[in-house]
Chains A and B, each alone.
Chain A
């Protein structure tokens, strides 16, 4: 089938992008698509750009989402707020939790109306709408967004924001990576960053597109982050692969290579991860009653697919397991969104989904498995609507300037290499490997100590300087140098915040401070790139207000 008459894929041109829209959405996962729908519903002109393909790209498309799906009846929602407030380490915002549950409930009914194939009535006690399988969910979201008149631009990562003389965000720029990295620029009345979290290219399911680009871009225009110490979420995967869906491990028993059983119940994560530090751990899903097996398979087909392909029966045979870093994807840190409608601390800039801090609804424990998906829906919907309203009549003051620096415009090239520094001094792959060596190991990141954090920063701080100085985009399709820069920035934010919290709270474990200190039940803001600063959120708000 290679006849010349066939119109071949490579003959296609990149989508022509408009010079200006009301709302520009960066990222086409759940948060970005819900934002685009909400902005379009307000009557705004909307463009959505994705690094990958809106519909397959991101954590939800690959992994699927069980949702924080709580009925309005009785006191169910109040109880849900209470429980999560405690579990999350007393950092949540009850108002936003209630609003997120309400919005998620409505949004899921919108999905049902749009044709999501939920389980049919006859199978159970009622129609359950609280689980969304990834491929189906995101294929439908793509269709809905396009039907709403949103221009979708795929395979076109954003690399930087544009800002004006007032410091407001007025657009973004990027490249079409399937067309020789041809540049694009779109002006906008408001920009929604929905680029997902940062999982450090660990290979965690669906997360290699989530390299923290949005937070880097936001920090370059002065945005602040929050909750960055809660960035050390690890998923459990079979040792041979990287499938990090976790729910089915509730049926697991764990053992050592010699067969000695470990006394770790189901998904007892910290204990399991401590055991992994000590030596190889094996799992078997032998606590699942046989009559559940088929239900498990239908619920999470992609959990079982890798085992089937390997010829392993996970219910009967032991398989090695390992911990894979999911960083801020299933952690909770991200761009601070204290403003109405998930406005950031920078005018014209909104953030949603995993790119934003999720402390409001999940505190310091992971929101994976329920809260994160609900937050992506609700924060996306709020940010899209608020961005559309704020975009009305907004025009840049003066000439828009691109804000990107590290991994994009190396300082040595900017200086004309006058200092004689080799502009090709560092390469993206080397930077990625250096960051990963400090953030992937459980013993450095999951279980932290002051000394270990300082040791990592002693590597990461000079690495950042090198990146700023000499990491240049290579002629590979995509934005690998930019991704590498974003990862270094995240590692430094994470560890600075972790140092500033000398206690253990929720997922943040300091082995040198194992207890929880009631006086530290407050959030930490982080900002800056060359100079990273951490301060309690309340103190920071006071400074900004004065």
Chain B
């Protein structure tokens, strides 16, 4: 779930308020956006992807990070290089190459197909337990 808006990095562009699919943030006329409804956060990391200044940190936990957790501590997160991490991978931001240029999903879908169990021969001879693997 979203844990941190860095006061130092945020430029109040409002993009996170606009783009969050579950409407977690509230705009504030006198301060940075606030995390108004953390419990609605679906941990999709897309606010991180769209924030132009790498000011947001979404913890990977599906619930709120416990008190005292480094996942809530801006300083420690900054030290570990945790701001803007997703944006780096997808290559968004000035002068970067889109990460999708390095997409090799084909390798893994092909490999998976090769691993498929043999198919049942006739209608009705299958049981659900033989259901093939799928991504």
Contacts and interface: CB of A to CB of B under 8 A. Distances in A.
Interface of A: 1-2, 6, 8-12, 51-53, 55-58, 61-62, 66, 83, 86-87, 89-90, 116-120, 123-124, 128, 130-131, 133, 135-136, 154-155, 177-178, 203, 205-209, 237-238, 240-243, 245-248, 250, 265-271, 292, 295-302, 305-310, 365-366, 368-370, 477-478, 504-509, 514-518, 521
B35 interface: no
Given A131-B105, A298-B102, A52 B134 contact: no
A75 B104 CA distance: 25
Contacts of A203: 42-43, 62
Contacts of A518: 123-124
B90 A2 contact: no
Given A123-B102, A135-B49, A250-B108, A515 B127 contact: yes
A199 B112 CA distance: 25
A306 B60 contact: yes
A245 B23 contact: no
A248 B134 CA distance: 10
Contacts of B108: 247-248, 250, 296, 299
Contacts of B30: 2
Given A365-B131, A506-B128, A506-B131, A66 B109 contact: yes
Contacts of A12: 14
Nearest to B124: A518
B134 A365 contact: yes
Nearest to B133: A267
A87 B117 CA distance: 11
Contacts of A508: 128
A369 B92 contact: no
Interface residues of B, number: 68
B2 to A, nearest CB: 13
Interface in B1-60: 10-14, 17-23, 26-33, 40, 42-46, 49-50, 59-60
B4 to A, nearest CB: 12
B23 A86 contact: no
A517 B128 CA distance: 11
B62 to A, nearest CB: 4
Contacts of A515: 127
11 contacts: A1-B32, A2-B31, A51-B21, A53-B20, A58-B21, A61-B46, A209-B22, A242-B62, A365-B132, A365-B134, A516-B124
B109 A9 contact: no
A369 B133 CA distance: 10
A267 B135 contact: yes
Contacts of B62: 203, 237, 240-242
A135 to B, nearest CB: 5
Contacts of A240: 60-62
B32 A246 contact: no
Contacts of A507: 128, 131
B109 A370 contact: yes
A247 B49 contact: no
B94 interface: no
Contacts of B92: 135
A514 B60 CA distance: 38
A507 B129 CA distance: 9
* Of listed B42, B44, B71, B109, residue having the most chain A CB within 10 A: B44
Given A8-B27, A506-B131, A298 B60 contact: no
A9 B18 contact: yes
B44 A206 contact: yes
A117 B100 contact: yes
Given A9-B33, A133-B99, A299 B107 contact: yes
Contacts of A271: 129
A133 B103 contact: yes
A119 B90 CA distance: 13
B59 A309 contact: yes
A62 B109 contact: no
A9 B12 contact: yes
Given A10-B26, A117-B100, A208-B42, 13 more contacts: A53-B18, A87-B131, A124-B104, A178-B23, A203-B43, A208-B21, A240-B62, A242-B42, A246-B135, A267-B134, A301-B89, A368-B135, A516-B126
B134 A135 contact: no
A309 B12 contact: no
A57 B21 contact: yes
A86 B135 contact: no
B131 to A, nearest CB: 6
B101 interface: yes
